Structure 1
Amino acid sequence: MSESYKNSVKRARPKALPARQEGIIVVFTLLAVVLLLLASIALVRSFDTSLLLSGNMAFKRDLANQSERGNASAIVAMSAGGALVDPATREADSKPNNYSATTLPSDAHGIPTILVDDVAWAASGMALADLTDAASGTTVRYVIDRLCTSAGSSIVPTNYCAISSLGGAKSGEVEDKMPPPPASLPVYRVSIRVTGPRNTQTFVQSVLSL
């Protein structure tokens, strides 16, 4: 065999095939897909949680705004033309107007227990109808209690009433120009419960002196 033929045979011989892949790229691809899927699920859950928190905050704020209806009704009842405008009337209970002349028992949060428990409310005899709003689906219930230990006049020392003083002399005034002694007025607590859709409840309190 000639030398030229041997060289041509060598040139025609095919090269060796590269080593076959063992599937490692597929494994890494699957792992990447799984990680992306988990990240997508976490992102969706975080987004849902944010929407839920935002909705709850807006819902709670709306219930707090609705409580102003109860506060306004209590002020109207104790103002001119109202059922509780006469101080002598406020010296005794007025259950048709959701009024107590003495401090009502309260829970650890300072909310009257009859406002928290519907059974206790029914047993208390408070008879003023709740304020309802069909459009928003809310119900407002309020109770007024005078911060005194017993019924009767608030100026009797044994009643131990919380008192708010109005008026008084200003610093630096001469004695002959001093105004009369300040008026002592009992303090009234207005406790409001707002019940919204899905039986969500918000409690709001304010105090009045008049």
Structure 2
Amino acid sequence: MNSYTPFLAHFCSRRRNSGAIMLITLISMVLVMLSAMALIRSFETSQSMAGNLAFKRDLLNRAEQGATQAIALFDSGGALFDPDARLNNLPDHNYYASMLATNDRGIPGILLSGAGTRGTEDINDDDAGISIRYVIDRLCSESGEVTSSQCARSVDAGAGSAHESGKRAATYSPVYRISVRASGPRNTQVFLQTTIKR
């Protein structure tokens, strides 16, 4: 009877150890699976963020096309080349002779809502799902003639050369704000704003 007792004790001890090892192994496997799931989620999130950043960077480059198109309206042959044409609104070219109402970030509300801007002036890339729209407003409180009390103006100080007896008189140019909205995939939007004087 004494010879069977150690064998029985060893067998029972071994069965208890196998159960504990199995439990520890299962818990370890669950922890590894949870870690793997967290790693996959983290990777997907960072990949999505990198994709959105790439879209925004691309949209910023595309928004510059809208600004270039708007500035071209002031060049020879453009709808805003003649200073008299700039005295009143030209909604067909998304131009407003007085300053537009803006949100707290300085973006004109008309550009945010899309009301009052012409769709034909848009730059669309249907393959990439990108739409670019711009609006130009003169930084004056009212339309009509440019006056110092109503308009923001840029001073062009006259400069004389060594051969001239005096300096030229300073001239004042009205300031125009060009705001561009570029919309792309994944509801990505970029706003670009610049001012020019003419």
TM-score range, shorter chain: 0.7 to 0.9
Match of 2:99 among 103, 107, 115: 103
- Residue in 2 that maps onto 1:142: 134
CA distance in 2, matches of 1:141, 1:151: 23
Partner secondary structure for residue 180 of structure 1? coil
- Structure 2 residue 72 is the aligned partner of structure 1 residue 76: yes
Where do 5+ consecutive residues of structure 1 fail to align? 1-9
Structure 1 stretches of 4+ with a deviation exceeding 4 A read 125-128
Structure number, greater radius of gyration: 1
Q: 1:103-136 CA deviation, whole Å, 9 max, x = no partner?
A: 0111111111111113xx1xx3757532111232
Q: TM-score, normalised by structure 1?
A: 0.82
CA distance in 2, matches of 1:27, 1:138: 55
Match of 1:21 among 2, 15, 20: 15
- Structure 2 residue 33 is the aligned partner of structure 1 residue 37: yes
Partner secondary structure for residue 157 of structure 1? coil
Q: Determine what percentage of the aligned residue pairs are the same residue.
A: 39
Q: TM-score, normalised by structure 2?
A: 0.86
Aligned CA distance change for structure 1 residues 76 and 125 (closer, same or farther; 3 Å): closer
Count of residue correspondences: 190
- Residue in 2 that maps onto 1:133: 125
Where do 5+ consecutive residues of structure 2 fail to align? none
8 Å Cα contact 1:101/1:146 also seen in 2: yes
8 Å Cα contact 2:95/2:135 also seen in 1: yes
Aligned CA distance change for structure 1 residues 128 and 147 (closer, same or farther; 3 Å): farther
RMSD over aligned CA atoms reads 2.3
CA distance in 2, matches of 1:157, 1:111: 24
- Structure 2 residue 179 is the aligned partner of structure 1 residue 191: yes
Partner secondary structure for residue 6 of structure 2? coil
8 Å Cα contact 1:188/1:208 also seen in 2: yes
Q: 1:71-97 CA deviation, whole Å, 9 max, x = no partner?
A: 011111011111100111111111111
